Structure 1
Amino acid sequence: MTLSIENKMGEFDAIRPYDDAEVPAVLARLFADRQFLDILTRFRFPRLAGPFGWALKPLIARRLNKEVRGIESVSALQDKIETYVDRTIERATDGVTYSGVEQLKAGCSYLFLANHRDIVMDPAFVNYAVYHAGLPTPRIAIGDNLLQRPFVSDLMRLNKSFIVHRSLTGRREKLAAYQLLSAYISHSIRNDGQSIWIAQAEGRAKDGDDRTDSAILKMFHMSRKDEDFAAVIASLRLVPVSISYEYDPCDQAKARELCIRATTGEYVKSPGEDDTSIALGITGYKGRVHINFGEVVDSGFTDSKGLAQELDRRILAHYRLFPVHYLAYSMWAERDPALEVPSAEQVFPAAEVARARQEWQKRLDACLPEQRPYMVLQYATPVRNQYRVKAGLPL
């Protein structure tokens, strides 16, 4: 199914971000949404929200309307909220660094394919790097499982997010959804000149093992099957992105989930668990964060499997390892003795390692004994993967 330019807007309306003309009406709808105002009230005034919420909500709505008065475009809205984003990042990190962003060219759109550790902050940090480099921020792929409430969908689509329908169960419906998604991504990059951010696999890599799902790469080709696979990938200007967190705010929750899944065979999320993960991922301490933008993949890969292996190699090779990763690897029962992995003390200054050891021990102590191996796993796996890449070994 190849979509024509004439009917593209109607076809993409169900998944695309909001455009500039829709911004004022969506903002007005948001500030009248009781659930949205209730969450803001509880976040801003946790002690007063219960007894005085009825009085605070109208005040917050008026303040929000005043803040966004005159904003009539997505870029103007992003400019307005950027100071709040920067403040949040400054409070929750010990600094953000990035590399490779200087290779991105103004006036050129890209398909950013990144490893996935945090629901909201992964694309937020990519946006942060691109925005501060003076380039347009990408459109962001987000699963419909995270958009259960109307105001969440409005918020995300205002911030250039587009919807990936993951909750569909029928084979025909899934196929149609991926055809549409494929066409939208291609159209965004080639016709709209708008970059795209998408995770390398569905769901976060909770065990720290970042791998590209070849099915996502096949999806990029679905709407242009009459064209050569390598030519389609080249036209999308695919850039592998490595996002490294020194500490993961959700590491304890991930360790718990991995432990339960390993011992019972399944894990069932409790109501509101995604909301909790999102909030913790945004506000929780991350230490240092590094984002690397790799070179555009322009070599001729004829199939998705070969391309996935190359993307894995590039993403893992440029993943920034911090002292905590080496500390975890040194105590990992599954470390590979054939890999020449140095100790943390051999790579980093003693004072830096001492600080990391203290923070690492605090995180281990917060874990139940049976869950600690899964905490270690999350931080140790990137070390094994990177050193396998360095040694030229298969992953």
Structure 2
Amino acid sequence: MNMEFDEIRPYHDEELPQIYEELIADPAFQQVASAVFPEVPFEALAQKMRTCKTKLEFQKAFCYTILKRFARDTTQGVTLDLTAQTDKTSAYTYISNHRDIILDSGFLSVELIDKGMDTVEIAIGDNLLIYPWIKKFVRVNKSFIVQRALTMRQMLESSGRMSRYMHHTIKDKNQSIWIAQREGRAKDSNDRTQESVLKMLAMGGEGDIIDRLIEMNILPLAISYEYDPCDYLKAQEFQLKRDIPDYKKTQEDDLKNMQTGLFGPKGRVHFQVASCINEELEKLDRSLSKPELFSQISALIDRRIHANYRMYPGNYIAHDYLSGTQAFAGHYTAEEKKHFTDYIDQQLARIELPNKDIPFLREKMLLMYANPLTNYLATRTDNPK
């Protein structure tokens, strides 16, 4: 058993009984579990936990049920299209745009279970592990930890270890992984793959950069939410950053974003898997400089994600509003336009700032809905798969 990964990996199945007992004894966990399952006595939940012998059994017994409820109560349906994923038994690295802190990976795993497949291991930043029980819970739930606030040297060591862990997970455990294409969510929905994520992935494995990334079986994944419950919080953050040069989000802000994302209405939600990029990686010129190589691979992943967005009326309405045209009027009705503009007004009203700059905030919110369409349209010219 490789001890190098002990600090960051999900728990091994044989470790679960001990962790269950620690969670069951934690008053904060008891409180949350009782709030999520108010109809079930906590002792019954504890007994049910103790019967789960594997992480997947735990996920199916608890997380699946909770996430299905969120899908039922806060969306108009979650769908996953896997047609581009040729082999359902291989392990892949799903690299996706990032909309919701918890639900991007959560809904993906639920949809995979419904298709008779295994769930994914999830990369999660340690800045979100605010309480001890959360850190334990996510590691039971197949998450591995991305360490954040580190010195440059620590960051290099941490990235190398995480890369080796991910290669080990794909190659040796045959276990798929989900990772966001960038650190944190793209606040304006202009989704771009951070080259630092690819550099980290290329630290582990064998051979040159291309060989190491081919080993990861990268599947770009496009996630499309009709409505982003956190849109007004993201707009608010834009104004705070504009007005306060050294503005930093607090733990309380992270908690509010998680809570709003979980419980807010999302409309329709779609996950579209693009084809694996290995063939395109093979065609790249291996003699290119590292910066050029990473730049080309980032662009390749971006095109795959952008080309596979699902568009909703709001995307077209926002684009027309910002361009001052009726270019996409054929994609929505007058009723849909009124509904969307009313929605934007309602969200703007939720922003609590002493000096609300409404025109600025409105533009930022509309950009969040227009940018996916702008990026989608840009891919129509080079026709990726």
Q: Same fold (TM over 0.5)?
A: yes
1:173 alignment partner AA: Q
62-71 vs 74-83, greater mean Cα deviation: 62-71
Q: Is 1:233 aligned with 2:233? A: no
CA RMSD of the aligned region, Å? 2.4
Q: How far apart are 1:350 and its partner, in Å?
A: 5.5
Residues 1-395 of structure 1: pairs in structure 2 closer than 5 A: 9-40=2-33, 60-81=41-62, 82-101=64-83, 103-169=85-151, 171-224=152-205, 227-298=207-278, 299=280, 300=282, 301=284, 302=286, 303-332=293-322, 335=323, 342-343=327-328, 345-348=329-332, 352-367=336-351, 368=356, 369=358, 370-392=360-382
CA shift digits 1:347-384 (9 cap, x unpaired): 24565555444434433454541422211221122122
Aligned-residue sequence identity (percent) comes to: 34
* Alpha-carbon distance between aligned partners in 1 of 2:251 and 2:124, rounded to the nearest angstrom: 19
SS of the aligned residue for 1:248 comes to: coil
SS of the aligned residue for 1:290 comes to: strand
User: Do the aligned residues in 2 keep the contact of 1:37 with 1:61 (CA within 8 Å)?
Assistant: yes
* Alpha-carbon distance between aligned partners in 2 of 1:180 and 1:295, rounded to the nearest angstrom: 28
SS of the aligned residue for 2:365 comes to: helix
**TM-score, length-normalised on structure 2?**
0.88
1:172 alignment partner AA: R
1:371 alignment partner AA: L
**TM-score, length-normalised on structure 1?**
0.86
User: Do the aligned residues in 2 keep the contact of 1:92 with 1:287 (CA within 8 Å)?
Assistant: yes
Count of paired positions: 366
Gaps of 5+ in 2: 287-292
Gaps of 5+ in 1: 1-7, 46-55
81-90 vs 364-373, greater mean Cα deviation: 364-373
* Alpha-carbon distance between aligned partners in 2 of 1:295 and 1:374, rounded to the nearest angstrom: 32
2:198 alignment partner AA: L
> Measured at CA, do residues 172 and 364 of structure 1 come closer, stay the same or move farther in structure 2, by a change above 3 Å?
closer
CA shift digits 1:316-359 (9 cap, x unpaired): 11111211111112222xx498xxx832x312456555544443
CA shift digits 1:154-204 (9 cap, x unpaired): 1110110000111212x2211110110110010100011001110000011
Q: How far apart are 1:282 and its partner, in Å?
A: 1.1
Q: How far apart are 1:65 and its partner, in Å?
A: 1.1
> Measured at CA, do residues 258 and 379 of structure 1 come closer, stay the same or move farther in structure 2, by a change above 3 Å?
same
226-235 vs 247-256, greater mean Cα deviation: 226-235
